[in-house]
Structure 1
């Protein structure tokens, strides 16, 4: 793990923030505008998307949510976030992105967080449905976010990996991870949602546990090392080289336990 995104309205945020602060990872704000976590009503994602594209968002409500969630983050960590992204990728939506950037500029000046760019990376070898979902997420605002980042000097990840339907199980997820990493270039971001087994009242609890199983397997680390892949904190990375000069992943088959996880036979 190189980065963790925090839902400041979540039940465990206040109690867990202190321990998280000592981890060697970027800690960011996971802007939430669609899920009621503290009793406050929130619109469904579909309704929010329709409102944004029709220009009917409540601008005051959006600004208030951004303010309160950034305040809550600062109260717990004593500083601003290393990065900002969005629950269900809402940070890039029209009517959300610009007020978010305004607040980030006002609060942090030159010490700006990096932003999650949802433009998909190479989709070769991935299921059609996963590629379609990745493209749909990007259509919600990746182009606009990238344009703003280039114009105003915001840092972003190069490409976004890790999009799928949360229904693969451990074996299927391992195969997806193998393909995402095989497709990755320097500066790409791979999203994941791991959780310990046995958690209740958590969306996609079984699949989150499957992700934890795959990502925690030492054989995955061995395969990554064999392919020259390293996981780094984006805040510590220097300027990225052009993609053509980036390190490419050798066509090495999964080995050891990881081979058995991704095998389809």
Structure 2
């Protein structure tokens, strides 16, 4: 099966830092040019000791060999659900319930976001190129207001972009899940980004139930992609037994690393 990738498409691997297999997959795919972005989970126990140093080394190598064809956007994967250390593990349903009841402690949300941003900047000596959320928590009610407030104060020049989750156009070819995600804050968050003039991408793809033929899914996403679309992915070089999507992560990785590299040289794919 042959894939022709639009020149402004961006493919982003989520969850960098979560496991060694994910880190290895992300760095390999970035080197190959098969993906153009990754979002980092700075709350993960391995972030400071392994993930950030490996990413720093990779970034330094790209500077040394001056591979201008290799583009890497490095973002923060804002986490409220994965429990690490003193951070309590919250289910997605718990997060949604708190959000729609507006029952979050605003100070807790602000502190969590600032700590994760600090961990990113302290480890990589750079600001994030973009912000998204683990399980898309960044777009939920109350959380999104805190996010935009903190980011506006911290980065008033708005020289970073934010992820929204709206599919390209009304179609049920993608199934119910993408539209459920769009309804759970996607529409409102996209409107807020536009009103506040935050850069973002045109449309969002890559949502599926982690089953089925990944190549067929990917072909469908490409058929629907607009200029400056974003495709989310979750690759790993090995399956973690405790990860519910561990086996499918390996399927995604094997597919992505076989993509035609000449088709994967992608320009910055965000817009205001």
The runs of 5 or more residues in structure 2 that have no matched partner are: 1-34, 63-70
Superposition TM-score, scaled by structure 2 size = 0.76
Report the alpha carbon displacement of residue 16 of structure 1 after superposing the two structures with TM: 2.0
Go from structure 1 to structure 2 and tell me whether the alpha carbon gap of 1:178 and 1:230 turns closer, same or farther (over 3 Å shift). Answer: farther
1:161–1:191 contact (8 Å) kept in structure 2: yes
Residue 152 (1) aligns with residue 187 (2): no
Q: Report what 1:76 is aligned to.
A: 123
The answer to which of 42-51 and 18-27 deviates more is 18-27
Which runs of 4 or more aligned residues in structure 1 lie more than 6 Å from their structure 2 counterparts after TM superposition?
Answer: none
Q: Report what 2:176 is aligned to.
A: 132
1:122–1:184 contact (8 Å) kept in structure 2: no
1:83–1:115 contact (8 Å) kept in structure 2: yes
Decide which of 184, 187, 193 is 2:234's aligned counterpart: 193
Report the alpha carbon displacement of residue 101 of structure 1 after superposing the two structures with TM: 1.1
Q: Deviations over 1:76-101 (max 9, x none)?
A: 11121100000000001111111111
The runs of 5 or more residues in structure 1 that have no matched partner are: 241-265
Q: Report what 2:55 is aligned to.
A: 20
The alignment's C-alpha RMSD in Å is 2.2
Q: Deviations over 1:176-225 (max 9, x none)?
A: 011111211111100000100254543411100000011111xx327x84
Q: Report what 1:99 is aligned to.
A: 146
2:158–2:198 contact (8 Å) kept in structure 1: no
Q: Which structure's CA Rg is the greater one?
A: 1
Report the alpha carbon displacement of residue 230 of structure 1 after superposing the two structures with TM: 5.5
Decide which of 53, 56, 81 is 2:100's aligned counterpart: 53
1:194–1:208 contact (8 Å) kept in structure 2: yes
Q: Report what 2:267 is aligned to.
A: 232
Decide which of 239, 260, 267 is 1:221's aligned counterpart: 260
Q: Map residues 30-41 of structure 1 onto 2, 5 A cutoff.
A: 30-41=77-88
Whole-Å Cα distance in 2 between the matches of residues 106 and 55 of structure 1? 22
SS in 2 for 1:191: strand
2:80–2:90 contact (8 Å) kept in structure 1: yes
